[in-house]
């Protein structure tokens, strides 16, 4: 079967489009710009004529960027959940009375920042990120977390500027929009998942109609071929009948 042909018995075929402009061939490999037609339990390939190959390349590039963002997001979460030591300023009536070494880390729920003294057995102090108004750098190594009411929830100094910058950026991203991992988990459930299912169903309907159109075009082409073939045979027969008989020259 030629790659661009469509099976004649289309009612027995089921169009299975790959979600990313590809298809599965006989060996299970990816065929960019193709679509599967399952016929009598076997795989036959049909060209997908209206696929924008540049769009495919851009899609692959976008997927690569998404994967990179997901890896970076995972690294940020691991850094925050592992925790780090900071020097916390102790204050009384707005006056700094000293400092203490504390351990700060992000809880497994990814929404709660916890801190406690490194040598204390007391329960940690929790800071809900949804109640946080700002997370900003202060001076060379300072980090300040403020509440929506304007209160300072945490005022610490990092061991280095690099550590402080990493924590400020990671906490801001975690607070502002959630992580790519969380978004991916949300897509797997609820309305977003239903929307994906509906979109996939619409694509299946589209490709089914596309297959029917291709079948119709093939049938029309076959009819034209038969028509012109018949005309050609007719004129060939007339031409042969009009050829002079060699015996008439004598």
Q: What is the DSSP string of 118-187?
A: TT--SPPEEEEGGGEEEEEEETTTEEEEEETTS-EEEEEE-SSHHHHHHHHHHHHHHHHH--HHHHHHHH
pLDDT at 1 over 80: no
Least confident interval from 96-100, 152-156, 175-179: 175-179
**pLDDT computed for residue 95 by the predictor:** 79
**pLDDT computed for residue 238 by the predictor:** 64
Tell me how many degrees the CA angle 234-235-236 measures, rounded to the nearest 5: 90
Q: Is residue 98 part of a domain?
A: yes
What average pLDDT does this structure show over 14-31?
A: 41
Query: How many domains would you assign to the chain?
Result: 1
Q: Report the sign of the C-alpha dihedral through residues 60, 66, 70, 76, in that order.
A: positive
Q: Which residue has the higher pLDDT, 39 or 208?
A: 208
Note whether 114 and 126 are within 8 A (CB).
yes
**pLDDT computed for residue 21 by the predictor:** 38
Q: Is residue 76 part of a domain?
A: no
Q: Which residue has the higher pLDDT, 16 or 150?
A: 150
Q: Is residue 132 part of a domain?
A: yes
- The H-or-E segment that residue 46 falls in is strand 42-47
What average pLDDT does this structure show over 113-127?
A: 88
pLDDT at 126 over 50: yes
Least confident interval from 14-18, 58-62, 228-232: 14-18
Averaged pLDDT of the chain? 71
Q: Is residue 134 part of a domain?
A: yes
**pLDDT computed for residue 147 by the predictor:** 93
Phi-psi sector, 229: left (phi>0), alpha (psi -120 to 50), beta: alpha
Tokens of 17: 């489009």
Three-state DSSP state, 22: coil
Tokens of 93: 């009536």
Query: For residue 225, what are the contacts with CB-CB under 8 A and spacing of at least 6?
Result: none
How long is the chain?
Answer: 250
**pLDDT computed for residue 187 by the predictor:** 47
Q: pLDDT tens, 196-239? A: 667 767 777 777 787 788 888 888 888 877 776 665 566 666 66
Please give the Cα distance from 20 to 41 (Å, whole number).
23
Which residue range(s) make up the domain with 155?
A: 84-178
Q: pLDDT tens, 137-171? A: 999 999 999 999 999 999 999 999 999 999 999 99
Note whether 107 and 113 are within 8 A (CB).
yes
pLDDT at 39 over 50: no
CA 74 to chain centre: 16
- The H-or-E segment that residue 230 falls in is helix 190-241
Q: Is residue 104 part of a domain?
A: yes
Q: For residue 7, give the DSSP letter.
A: -
Q: Could you tell me the CATH number of the domain that includes residue 90? A: 2.30.29.30
Q: Is residue 107 part of a domain?
A: yes
Phi-psi sector, 81: left (phi>0), alpha (psi -120 to 50), beta: alpha
Q: Is residue 53 part of a domain?
A: no
Q: Is residue 208 part of a domain?
A: no
Report the predicted TM-score, pTM, of the whole model to 2 decimal places. 0.47
Q: Which residue has the higher pLDDT, 222 or 52?
A: 222
**pLDDT computed for residue 178 by the predictor:** 54
Considering 31-45, 54-68, 112-126, 159-173, the range whose residues carry the highest mean pLDDT is 159-173
């Amino acid at each position: 079967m030629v790659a661009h042909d469509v099976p004649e018995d289309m009612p027995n075929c089921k169009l299975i489009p790959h979600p990313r402009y590809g298809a599965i061939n006989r060996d299970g490999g990816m065929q960019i710009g193709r679509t599967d037609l399952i016929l009598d339990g076997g795989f036959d390939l049909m060209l997908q004529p209206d696929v924008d190959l540049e769009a495919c390349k851009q899609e692959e590039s976008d997927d690569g960027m998404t994967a990179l963002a997901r890896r970076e997001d995972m690294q940020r979460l691991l850094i925050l959940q592992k925790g780090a030591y900071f020097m916390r300023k102790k204050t009384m009536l707005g006056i700094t009375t000293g400092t203490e070494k504390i351990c700060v880390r992000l809880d497994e729920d990814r929404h709660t920042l916890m801190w406690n003294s490194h040598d204390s057995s007391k329960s940690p102090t929790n800071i809900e990120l949804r109640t946080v108004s700002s997370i900003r750098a202060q001076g060379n190594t300072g980090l300040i977390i403020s509440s929506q009411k304007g209160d300072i929830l945490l005022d610490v100094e990092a061991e280095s500027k690099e550590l402080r910058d990493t924590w400020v950026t990671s906490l801001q991203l975690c607070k502002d929009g959630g992580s790519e991992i969380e978004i991916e988990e949300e897509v797997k459930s609820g309305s977003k998942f239903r929307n994906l299912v509906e979109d996939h169903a619409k694509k299946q309907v589209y490709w089914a109609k596309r297959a029917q159109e291709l079948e119709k075009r093939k049938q029309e082409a076959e009819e034209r071929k038969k028509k012109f073939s018949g005309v050609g045979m007719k004129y060939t027969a007339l031409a042969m009948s009009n050829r002079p008989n060699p015996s008439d020259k004598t």
